[in-house]
Amino acid sequence: MKPELQDIRSQFPILNREVNGKKLIYFDNGATTQKPIGVIDAESQYYKELNSNVHRGVHFLSTQSTIAFENARKSVQQFINARSENEIIFTKGTTESINLVAQSFTSLLQKGDNIIVSRMEHHSNIVPWQLACKGRGLELRVAEITSDGLLDLQQLASIIDDRTKLIGIAHISNVLGTINPIKEIVAMAHSNNIPVLVDGAQSVAHLKIDVEDLDCDFFAFSAHKMYGSMGVGVLYGKEKWLEKMPPYQGGGEMIKNVSFDGTTFNELPFKFEAGTPNVAGTIALSEAIRFMQAIGIENIGKCEHELTNYALAKLTDMGNINLFGPIQNRSSVISFLLQNIHPYDAGTLLDKMGIALRTGTHCAEPLMKFFGINGTMRISFAAYNSIEEIDYFLESLHKVKQIFE
Amino acid sequence: MTNIKERSDEIAANFSVFDDWLDKYNYIIEIGKSLPVFEDAKKSPSNLISGCQSQVWITAEYRDGQIFFAGDSDALITKGIASILIQVLSGASPNEIINCDMSFIDRIGLREHLSPTRANGLNGMIKQMKLYAIAFKSKHETII
Ligand SMILES: Cc1ncc(COP(=O)(O)O)c(C=O)c1O
């Protein structure tokens, strides 16, 4: 049974606050979601009762901390249906997860090999590859998109060759809301023995993630975009790849023995976790997972889908508006432009009306260039958003239009 | 001819009559419209201020010891803000601009309404205008 919206909203203290003298309408969930009280309490509880370093001490608190931390790994493993806890690497976010693969995986490659990423990627799934390619003499190829914001699978097939060593692709575009056909891409890639990295930053809070079913080789996401804390992320990687890949950073935790004659590295997953992690935030991530599972991820998706369809229909009715991205089979991210009104101007006034939305290039400049624009306005929904909030937003948008007309 | 202090005081006084944020923004937008036409040819990458969500271009000219600024933006609020800076700083000497106190921006309440990323645009404009002043000073005013 799906809980009532009010029961969901009441778990988010921040939704009661006002901004600029208006009730907060938070439509910037693509950037980060708000946190339920369970997550907030888990963080503070940790520092009040459990704080101590993990994997090190023999003392009581350290053991308790380590158990809680490793339990979080287990909840993540179950949440995304990974085969083993060894496949769950904690990082500080999607960005670090991708950088880890970009640095470590590419060290296995030869000069002249190539990597493919798509036109609709967030800079986090472009720049790490550019850096790695530059350092190692690899080529970065671009999978193109169609004008309605879908991946061009034919073009993708045409740029794959026997030197292609990895395909990096967003599960869901943070600008267009496009849901990419990961299983199809993985099938195409695997038939050429190419691994696939999925940037799941925008999907993990909205779709049920099953890495076994997707069969992707890597899956990266951030806790803060799924009701969890900032500074915590996950890299899922198939064990066969993680075993082959060298460490990404050196330091404590990731070693077995250190000597100046040579250092041996720890086993998975610790090999990739150098230094003291964000223990409190990681433990709070299991609370975030619990929050999502209590509502049911399918229920969250269904409600967001209704909100998205409602908003899309009303925005279309409004006229003088350009909407980006596909009409169907899309996520709850809506990018749009009001004709003749700069997104910065509209965003500034909407902010004064209490509405938090995003304006700008959304860290996706190659995509902006494709559409020949400098930016968009973007609203993106989460489990606690409502039709009433969308109505208030639409009214406010009308006012903004009047001001600039 | 007024100086920077007098011009900025006047603008701060004009803003002080507005209680309502919307009136304030409407006024900023109006001020933007008062800027002289800025030819497209001048909207070049070299005149573009970086660090802004919207595009802002600023140019400067030196005549008889005074600097005159011109500018434009594709966003109306940003254009208004550029226009305020241009009104305050145009006609001043390089030294006055280099040493000027920009606290009037706080008195107008502009800074409080601009988030850090947006304020970067404002800071970028001020920085660029001061850089022009430094460049003109070293070019035209021999330091004795
Ligand atoms: C698709 C996508 N990838 C990567 C990121 C980067 O995530 P983080 O900043 O949490 O590392 C984002 C965040 O905006 C995103 O939307």
Dist CA A141 CA A150 (whole Å): 17
Find out if CATH 3.40.640.10 is the number for domain A40-293: yes
Interface touch B75/A360, C-beta < 8 Å: no
| Ligand 1 centroid distance, CA of A209 (Å) | 17
| Ligand 1 centroid distance, CA of A127 (Å) | 12
Dist CA B118 CA B82 (whole Å): 13
Domain boundaries, chain A: 5-27+297-404, 40-293
Interface touch A342/B21, C-beta < 8 Å: no
Mutate which of A33, A94, A197, A380 for ligand 1? The one with the most ligand atoms within 8 Å of its CB, which is: A94
Q: Is the CB of A95 under 6 A from ligand 1?
A: yes
- Mean pLDDT, residues A90-98: 98
Residue A336: which of A357, A310, A306, A366 has the closest Cα?
A357
Condensed to tens digits (0 to 9), the pLDDT of residues A254-309 reads: 888 898 988 899 999 999 999 999 999 999 999 999 999 999 999 999 999 999 99
Question: For residue A382, which phi and psi values (nearest 5 degrees)?
Answer: -135, 180
Dist CA A213 CA A388 (whole Å): 37
Please determine, for residue A2, whether its predicted confidence score (pLDDT) is greater than 90: no
Lowest mean pLDDT among A52-66, A173-187, A199-213, A295-309: A52-66
Domain boundaries, chain B: 4-137
Angstroms from B141 CA to nearest CA on chain A? 39
Which residues does chain B have within 8 Å of residue A403's beta carbon, measured at their own beta carbons?
A: 22, 25-26, 29
Residue A175: which of A6, A371, A401, A402 has the closest Cα?
A371
Q: Is the CB of A94 under 6 A from ligand 1?
A: yes
Top CATH class, A5-27+297-404: alpha beta
DSSP B17-39: T--SHHHHHHHHHHHHHTSPP--
Q: Is the CB of A55 under 6 A from ligand 1?
A: no
Prediction pTM value: 0.94
Contact of B31 with B88, CB cutoff 8 Å: no
Q: Is the CB of A121 under 6 A from ligand 1?
A: no
Condensed to tens digits (0 to 9), the pLDDT of residues A133-155 reads: 999 999 999 999 999 999 999 99
| Ligand 1 centroid distance, CA of A32 (Å) | 9
Interface touch A352/B21, C-beta < 8 Å: yes
Dist CA A33 CA A201 (whole Å): 12
Chain A nearest-CA residue for B30: A404
Chain position carrying tokens 């066969």: A240
DSSP A123-168: GGGTHHHHHHHHHHT-EEEEE-B-TTS-B-HHHHHHH--TTEEEEE
**Facing B76 at nearest CB: one of A352, A375, A404:** A404
- Please state, rounded to an integer, the average pLDDT across all residues of chain A: 96
Residue A144: which of A132, A129, A134, A154 has the closest Cα?
A154
Residue A338: which of A293, A289, A373 has the closest Cα?
A373
User: Is residue A363 among the annotated active site residues?
Assistant: yes
CATH architecture of B4-137: Alpha-Beta Complex (3.90)
Please determine, for residue B142, whether its predicted confidence score (pLDDT) is greater than 70: no
Dist CA A82 CA A177 (whole Å): 25
Catalytic residues of B: 52
Please determine, for residue A48, whether its predicted confidence score (pLDDT) is greater than 60: yes
> ipTM strictly over 0.90?
no
Half-sphere exposure of B69 (CA within 13 A, CB side): 27
Give the length of chain A: 405
Q: Is the CB of A93 under 6 A from ligand 1?
A: yes
Interface touch B75/A403, C-beta < 8 Å: no
Dist CA A200 CA A158 (whole Å): 25
Q: Does B83 touch chain A (CB under 8 A)?
A: no
Interface touch B118/A348, C-beta < 8 Å: yes
Contact of A240 with A219, CB cutoff 8 Å: no
Please determine, for residue A162, whether its predicted confidence score (pLDDT) is greater than 90: yes
